[in-house]
Amino acid sequence: MSGFLDRMLGRVRLGGWLAVAAPVIAVVFAVLITSVVLLAAGKDPVEAFTTLADYGTQPRSMAMILNTGVMYYISALAVAVGFRMNLFNIGVDGQYRLAAVIAAGLGGAAVAPGVLNIILVIVVAVVVGALWAAIAGLLRVYRGVSEVISTIMLNAIATGLGSWLVSEHLGVLTGNDLGTRPIPDDAHMPGIPLIPGTPVLVNGFVVVAVLLGIAYWVVLNRTRFGFELRATGKSETAAVASGVSVKKMIVVTMILSGAVAGLIGMPELLGASYKYSNNFPAGLGFTGIAIALLGRNNPVGMAVGALLWSFLDNSSNQLQLLDISKEIVQIMQGVVVLSVIIAYELVHRYRIVAEQRRVSRELAAPQEAPKAEATA
Amino acid sequence: MKILYGMQRPDEGEIRVDGSPVGFHTPADAIAAGIGMVHQHFMLADNLTVLENVVLGSEPRRGGVALDFAAARKKIKEISDAYGLGVRPDVPVEELGVGDRQRVEILKVLYRGARILILDEPTAVLVPHEVEELFDNLRGLVREGLTILFISHKLDEVLRVADEITVIRRGTTVATVNPKDVTSRKLAELMVGSELPSPETRESTVTDVVALSVRDLTVRTGDGRPVVENVSFDIRKGEVLGIAGVEGNGQAELVEAIMGMRPCEVGTLTLGGVDISQWSTLKRRAGGIGYIPEDRHRHGLLLESPLWENRILGHQTRRPNVKGPWIDRAGARADTRRIVEQYDVRTPGIDVDAATLSGGNQQKLIVGREMSGDPVLLIASHPTRGVDIGAQAAIWDHLRTARAAGLAVLLISADLDELIGLSDTLKVILRGRIVADVDPANVTPEQLGSAMTGAGEGV
């Protein structure tokens, strides 16, 4: 009864080793396809992959991969919250950028000292992200506007609003870079010397990301709210009949997704650039969508996906040393996502058949237990 | 019907058109053989004109690409005039009434060259004078040599329009009769089957305490048409109130209104004396209404979730499933095991998905769940539909036991044996209104069948 979309978005469980088999198959498949492309371009795939692997295992690169991965992971979590109940928050991108602009402006003004300033910046970012996402939730509930459309539109509006805020109100010109006033030194998030053998520190937000991942899992799997959210995602009709207020769930879930989205820019803002300028990373929201698909909304799966993505992004420049276009990495990323979706679908079908067979085998003893209905 | 129209393939047997055997793989094959279907739910694009709707999918071409609307318009006019359909080709469908839309559907089929028309419950959406018009149209078609297969639950209509009647019950042909030789009573008997298991005599457990009281409940569709109209009843503790009726006469809407899933106008709606008309579905459930939904796959289960999570569904505010805002896994799992055991749900464990169980076992799980937490009222919609005989008997037993313990039950069913056997009081619903009160102890299924189909004398 579950649709292809349910399975694609990971609202259907996969048990045990099967859950691991699918992404592994997908990555292997992506490597194969990429090799074919490389061969077609007259390059040596073995050399290319060795270069990528060599680069990715150096301590310095590992720290950098982790730092980018933290942002990707938070973005994936924000997207996944919506996916779990059939909400497509395409607006994560606009939500985090607008949140970062306003939080950066406030942090730069240094209205509070030290740690208080950090907390203020984070809280403001979360609130701005949540409010921006709430617009789409309310439009959906009260006006029936698809959240896909409204969040895409809101992305464009957020871009305009952000530029206006920076150029007219919050921005200062440093050299020829227009950005918000830098956040003072006492309000920087300290880095962690997590990886030995390199002076590059790991962003302190890695801790926040891990906590968020745990919170995501606990809320979804262990609370009544999470149960209602998942039930709504699996079957809206059954949720309605069970007394779940779907409208309320839509608004609350959008707000939650936007709140998490508000955090995406924080590692960069409080741990790296300390201001919002033209160089602030863009497009993280869309990366998050790909990673949520890749990790099937599973907190561990998404962590692996975020690191894989970050590894490919960070090491792509190395390929230029071999005179290989770094865009080959984008082909690989695309193929990974597509093949992971196909692999999950195949694994899912296998699992359904296997489980039905198991159930009828275990029930076969007492009487003819017709199991045909389960496929209906 | 689906087989005749090529939507489904037969396991055995053959279909002959004009004496020669045919096999259909798709509806297109059926159309090619001259069989056309008029669906119960119209399949028209509102924003296109009648002409555009009719030609959609079989557009007349001119010179390869261009559409030849002139030719199409001429052909539509011809067909419309030949059969007296009175269809205007250039009106947008959204401006048409239900009767006109149906004529467009018929024309669509004729345009594709059908000589045999299947009409699936064509009168379900029509008001009486539109039914008359439809019958006139049908007689016109038959005069022109077409064959019509008219599928309906409504006996009086079948008797009036048909030249020959075939009664199908549970997928087999029961009888083929001539409408001139048969009364509606006899027809109802054939439809229902006269072999009734002797309704067991049992002690009445009906008390004087009213559990649910409904006064003047009306449900309207989006366009303001009432689908449930001024329904009133009381159910006392220990009483089973049965609602008999052909499906689609407002039962589903009535249930959803009582559950708070559908907006309605209601005079009074009280549960145990407390006004619940403004309560949310969740509050009504927590207040003691158990609900066995008509469609267990859509409303009763999360098919891709394990049994113990399904145990929580609809009971997510109550022990043993939750402690405060937290899901109580241990509690829910233990209670799922209890249900599996007490209600004889055949499953290898509580961690398998609900989808892997047979329909009967899924239903037993739902019954067990809805009986949990001491409900005051149980709404049971078709509680044994699609369930094997063993599970059916078990579910009936559970309902009787609960009734003896003081549960009030609202039973909706299309199974007349079930209604007569279980109910203490029976009401008949027709076109959204309660049209008769019946004493289940003295009624025969034939009488009940006549009342349900509005076939005359009532009971």
Residue of B nearest to A370 (CA): B358
Chain B residues inside the 8 Å CB shell of A370: 358, 388
**Residue B241: CA count within 13 A, CB half-sphere:** 23
Residue B168: inside a domain: no
How close A190 gets to chain B, by Cα (Å)? 34
Instruction: Encode chain A (376 residues) as per-residue pLDDT tens digits.
Output: 455 666 555 545 555 666 677 778 888 888 898 899 889 988 888 988 898 889 988 999 999 999 999 999 999 999 999 999 889 999 999 999 999 999 999 888 878 888 898 899 999 999 999 999 999 999 999 998 999 999 999 999 999 999 999 888 887 877 778 888 888 888 888 888 888 888 888 888 999 999 999 999 999 999 999 999 999 988 888 999 988 999 999 999 999 999 999 999 999 989 888 888 888 898 999 999 999 988 888 899 899 999 999 999 888 888 888 888 888 888 888 888 888 888 887 877 777 777 777 777 776 654 443 433 333 3
How close A233 gets to chain B, by Cα (Å)? 10
d(CA B202, CA B422): 10
Chain A residues inside the 8 Å CB shell of B309: 227
CB contact under 8 A, B327 and A224: yes
Tell me the mean pLDDT in the region B211-216: 88
Contact A114, A184 (CB under 8 A): no
CB contact under 8 A, B352 and A359: yes
Q: Which residues pair with B244 in a beta bridge?
A: B413, B428
Range of the domain at A261: 44-323
Question: What's the token pair of residue B200?
Answer: 């067991």
Domain boundary residue among B124, B151, B178? Answer: B151
CB contact under 8 A, B285 and A243: yes
The predicted-structure confidence for B40-67, as pLDDT tens digits, reads as follows 677 788 888 888 888 887 777 666 677 7
What pLDDT, on the 0 to 100 scale, is given for residue A13? 55
Q: Which residues contact A362 (CB under 8 A, 6 or more apart)?
A: B348
Rounded to a whole number, what is the largest CA-CA distance in chain B?
80
CB contact under 8 A, B313 and A231: yes
What pLDDT, on the 0 to 100 scale, is given for residue B346? 84
CATH number at residue B223: 3.40.50.300
Highest mean predicted confidence (pLDDT) among A31-40, B102-111, B183-192: A31-40
Q: How many CB atoms are located within 10 Å of the residue B1 CB?
A: 12
Chain B residues inside the 8 Å CB shell of A356: 356
What pLDDT, on the 0 to 100 scale, is given for residue B170? 62
Residue B370: inside a domain: yes
DSSP state of B295: -
Q: What is the pTM of this model?
A: 0.74
Residue B430 Cα distances to B144, B219, B228, B259, B449, angstroms = 35, 14, 9, 21, 11
Residue A329: inside a domain: no
Residue B223: inside a domain: yes
Residue A312: inside a domain: yes
Range of the domain at B232: 210-453
Asked whether the predicted pLDDT for residue B412 surpasses 80, the reply is yes
* B279/B366 same-domain check: yes
Asked whether the predicted pLDDT for residue B140 surpasses 90, the reply is no
What pLDDT, on the 0 to 100 scale, is given for residue A311? 92
What pLDDT, on the 0 to 100 scale, is given for residue A91? 92
* B128/B253 same-domain check: no
CB contacts < 8 A (A, B): 117
* B139/B260 same-domain check: no
d(CA B244, CA B437): 10
Number of domains in chain A: 1
Continuous H helices in B144-236:
155-161, 184-192
What pLDDT, on the 0 to 100 scale, is given for residue B195? 44
Dihedral sign from CA coordinates of A27, A28, A30, A34: positive
The predicted-structure confidence for B193-202, as pLDDT tens digits, reads as follows 654 343 454 6
How close A153 gets to chain B, by Cα (Å)? 27
Residue B299: inside a domain: yes
Tell me the mean pLDDT in the region B333-361: 85
Domain boundary residue among B102, B119, B151? Answer: B151
DSSP state of A168: I
How close A247 gets to chain B, by Cα (Å)? 13
Helices A59-83 and A246-262 cross at an angle (nearest 10°) of: 160
Tell me the mean pLDDT in the region B174-190: 78
Number of domains in chain B: 2
CATH number at residue A208: 1.10.3470
CB contact under 8 A, A359 and B285: no
Chain B residues inside the 8 Å CB shell of A240: 261, 281, 299
Chain A residues inside the 8 Å CB shell of B391: none
Contact B50, B126 (CB under 8 A): no
Q: How many CB atoms are located within 10 Å of the residue B348 CB?
A: 15
What pLDDT, on the 0 to 100 scale, is given for residue B181? 82
Chain B residues inside the 8 Å CB shell of A10: none
- Residue B41 C-alpha from the chain's centroid: 13
E strand or H helix that includes residue B438: strand B433-438
What pLDDT, on the 0 to 100 scale, is given for residue A371? 39
* B23/B139 same-domain check: yes
Could you give the ipTM of this predicted complex? 0.78
Chain A residues inside the 8 Å CB shell of B358: 369-371, 373-374
Question: What's the token pair of residue B22?
Answer: 């045919």
Residue B174: inside a domain: no
The predicted-structure confidence for B7-44, as pLDDT tens digits, reads as follows 666 777 778 887 778 777 777 788 888 888 887 677 78
Contact B92, B48 (CB under 8 A): yes
Q: Which residues pair with B378 in a beta bridge?
A: B290, B409
How close B224 gets to chain A, by Cα (Å)? 21
CB contact under 8 A, B358 and A1: no
CB contact under 8 A, B300 and A369: no
CB contact under 8 A, B314 and A356: no
Residue A369: inside a domain: no
Chain B residues inside the 8 Å CB shell of A354: none
d(CA B400, CA B205): 10
What pLDDT, on the 0 to 100 scale, is given for residue B457? 44
How close A332 gets to chain B, by Cα (Å)? 32
